[in-house]
Each structure stands twice: as structure tokens, then as C-alpha cells.
Amino acid sequence: MGDSMKQDFPIFSRQVNGRPLVYLDNAATTQKPACVIDAMTQYYSLSNANVHRAVHTLAGEATEGYEACRKLLKQRYNSDYVVITSGTTEAINLAAHAWGEHNLQPGDVVVLTEMEHHSDIVPWQMLAERIAIELRFVPVEDGELDLDALEVALDGAKLVCVVHTSNVLGVRNPVEQIISMSKSAGARVLIDAAQAVPHELIDFKETGADFMAFSAHKMCGPTGIGALLISDSAFSEMHPFMGGGDMIQTVTLEGSTYQTNEHKFEAGTPRIAEGVGWAAALEWMSQIDLESHHKRLLKIAKNVAGQLEEKGMKVYSTLNPGDAAVVSFTHPTIHPEDFARLLDAQGIAVRTGHHCAQPLMEKLGVNGTIRASFYIYNDDSDAEIFLTGIDRVLEAMA
């Protein structure tokens, strides 16, 4: 299953250090199928032009290509409003500026969790510096969010920001329950879905969340593009974030008026080729049965985790049903970087470090972990090569 899919990805014909590439750094970024790369090449080779407010043929094609991306996102995730950003991080910063700054008062409470990626912590810390809101962090206990603590933290909360699926542990949080608890408490909810959308299809309206942020590059799309989905009611409370071309209706020296749709939040020439590439990725993904891949990969990951433990590693991922196929682990004595570099010497790509989640690292009591993250093109043979590679490292370092 995985093997035939690799043929769609040009990168898998490459060798790393004389070995076929085994790519297990998917939580950082995924590889791109040929159709995505081709779509961008085609765009630049045939239709490249600036979009909107234009009447020539190329500009029309470029506008259609770019707006097709938004349309596909609206359909796939069931959202009336889709603002295109440069990624998850910009999407969350957009929410903090365009909604947070205009709807929160000094002393208002924003609830975060200890499991958040830095991109869902720092924008709120910066907002707290600007307008003196209070941040409360829901603790992580044994790799799970403490929902009793959430209940307490919700008292008086205006906004709850929670990572759907952890990039460090692969844990899928009970977002449905968190959203309903938050809504009952009268809070708006932002979901960091960077690690979620690659693994499951989410009906944004059905979740009841107000914001959902994610990046194309983690779901077979290009770098430099992402999105913020916004509920109708939250959209109506938002004010422009960045100013410039395309987001205005009229500009005079005395002041400006803004567009009323999503363009209001997309200042400047948009990510046109990236939109075209992401649209191709979304079309490609719509042919894929994510759920069955998800189950297949989770099984692989569980097997890998089990064997790593047998080999003396400490595994932090719990890999419960619904979790992403992410295996975070450490060795009692071998430094994660030495470990990763010795794997790289065998063509195996994994990531090490704090994974932009230092508060979670602190909770786990480590400086960093080694993280092997699996995606739809990975197969049993990748897992085998990985485990054999681990053995060679252990031998060499014995």
C-alpha cells in the first residue's frame, strides 16, 4: 500500500548517504506528490500573473487557480470563511491580532495548555504584554490534558486555545469535549490543527470551534501557505490585521475602508503559486482514505514503540486510538543528536530537540526527544529499516 504510493513522490527515488531515503520527519513537514510539484511548475510556466482586479487572460487564470484553493478548503472543512495565511503560525497571530486585540479586555482570561506548540503560546504571551490579559495553562498529566483542571480554568474564560493533535506525542486531544465545555463556559475556541488535518477530516462547523489553524506543508502541500478557518460569528467581530493592497475597498488620505470578505485579512499580493499547489494537494488527498491509512500507521507506530522499549528506550507517546503515528523517545545515555545523526548516516530522517514545545519538554522532564513520525507513504519496510538502523546505532554506541 505505502510502497506504490511512494511512486507518486519524486523524493523517494533519492538516496541519502548511499541508502534509499526513509523519511520519518513528517510531523515537521511532509513530502510532496508529483502532481503538487507539477501544478506549481505549470502555474509558473503557463499562467503566472498577479491576481484580482485584472482583466487579462493570465490574471484570470491565476485568480481562478488561487481562489480554487480557498473553495476546496471551504468544501473539505465545511467553513464559510477561509483566510489564507503563510501557515499555522501566521494564522494564530492573525487570530490574536484581528480578533483578540479587539475583543479582549485587560484581565480577560485566555486558556492555553501545556501541550501547545510555541506558535500557540508566544502570540498569546505577546498579546498579554500588549493588553494585559491573563493566561491560564491547562496541565498535562501522563501525556493527557487534565480536563478537571480545564473546567476550573474555564471560569471567566473568553478564549480557549488548544492543540488538536500534539506534534511531540501524537496525542489527539478530546477536542469535541473541550469545545463543548468551553462553549458552555461562554468562551470562543481556537484549534491548532497543524497536526490534525494531515490525519483526519474535520468538519469545522460541526466542531463548533471559532478558529482553526493549519499549514499546507504538513499535508503534502507547498511551504509558505496555510489557513485560518473562522466561524461566522467570530468573523463578524474581527478587524483587519495587516494593511495593504487587495484588502481595501477605498483608500483616501483621511482613512480607508476594507473589504467585507476574507480578502480583508489578506494584504498584499497573495501566495498565488502556493495556492495552486495546495489546491492540487487537496485534490490529491481527496482521493485518499485517510482513516484507513491512519489506522495502518498507528499500528506501525505502536509496533515500533514496543520494540524501542524492548531495546531499552523510553517512549513518551501513548499511541491510543485516534492519536497520530508519532513516536517520541529517548535513550538513557545516547544523546538524541548523536542518535539522529547515526540514523541519518543510514538514510533515515528523524527529528530531535524540543520540537517547539519547551513547556511540554519541561513537563516530560527532558531537554529533547528523538521523534519518528509516520505518514501515508510510509510502510512496514520503513519501520523495519528504522528498527535495524536503531540496532546498528545501539551496537556502535555500546
- Between vectors from CA 360 to CA 358 and to CA 364, what angle results, nearest 5°? 115
> Which of the residues 74 through 93 are near a copy of itself (CB under 8 A)?
86-90, 92-93
Q: How far is the CB of 140 from a copy of itself (least distance, A)?
A: 11
Report what 346 binds from a copy of itself, ligand PLP, another protein, none; CB cut-off 5-8 Å by kind. another protein
210 binds a copy of itself per the rule CB under 8 A: no
Distance from C-alpha of 316 to C-alpha of 327, rounded to nearest angstrom = 7
Q: How far is the CB of 56 from another protein (least distance, A)?
A: 7
Report what 291 binds from a copy of itself, ligand PLP, another protein, none; CB cut-off 5-8 Å by kind. none
Report what 243 binds from another protein, a copy of itself, ligand PLP, none; CB cut-off 5-8 Å by kind. a copy of itself
5 binds a copy of itself per the rule CB under 8 A: no
The smaller minimum CB distance to ligand PLP, of residues 41 and 50, is found at 50
Distance from C-alpha of 158 to C-alpha of 161, rounded to nearest angstrom = 10
Report what 63 binds from a copy of itself, ligand PLP, another protein, none; CB cut-off 5-8 Å by kind. another protein
Q: What share of the chain is helix, strand, coil (3-state, %, to 5)?
A: 45, 20, 35
366 binds a copy of itself per the rule CB under 8 A: no
- Choosing from 69, 161, 220, 356, the catalytic residue is 356
Which residues of the shown chain bind ligand PLP in the complex (CB under 6 A)? 87-89, 117, 119-120, 163, 167, 192, 194-195, 215, 226, 245, 268-269, 356
Contact 137, 113 (CB under 8 A): yes
The smaller minimum CB distance to ligand PLP, of residues 120 and 210, is found at 120
Point out which residues pair with 172 in neighbouring strands: 165
The smaller minimum CB distance to another protein, of residues 33 and 270, is found at 270
Which residues of the shown chain bind another protein in the complex (CB under 8 A)? 17-18, 52-57, 59-60, 63-64, 67, 334-335, 337-338, 341-342, 344-346, 353, 392, 396-397
Q: How many residues bind a copy of itself (CB under 8 A)?
A: 91
Handedness of CA 210, 213, 216, 218 (dihedral sign): negative
Strands (E), the chain: 15-16, 19-20, 22-23, 81-85, 109-113, 134-138, 140-141, 144-145, 157-163, 188-192, 211-215, 226-230, 248-252, 255-258, 314-315, 326-330, 348-349, 351-353, 369-373
Which residue type does 194 have?
A
Residue 344 vs residues 26, 31, 169, 349: alpha-carbon distances, Å: 15, 17, 22, 6
Contact 73, 79 (CB under 8 A): yes
> Which of the residues 136 through 155 are near a copy of itself (CB under 8 A)?
137
Handedness of CA 122, 123, 129, 133 (dihedral sign): negative
164 binds a copy of itself per the rule CB under 8 A: no
Q: How far is the CB of 221 from another protein (least distance, A)?
A: 22
Q: How far is the CB of 373 from another protein (least distance, A)?
A: 18
Report what 18 binds from another protein, a copy of itself, ligand PLP, none; CB cut-off 5-8 Å by kind. another protein
The smaller minimum CB distance to a copy of itself, of residues 91 and 302, is found at 91
Residue 35 bears catalytic tag: no
- Helix 272-285 and helix 34-42, axial crossing angle in degrees, nearest 10: 150
Report what 366 binds from ligand PLP, a copy of itself, another protein, none; CB cut-off 5-8 Å by kind. none
Dihedral Cα 197, 201, 205, 208, nearest 10 deg: -70
- Residues that are catalytic: 356
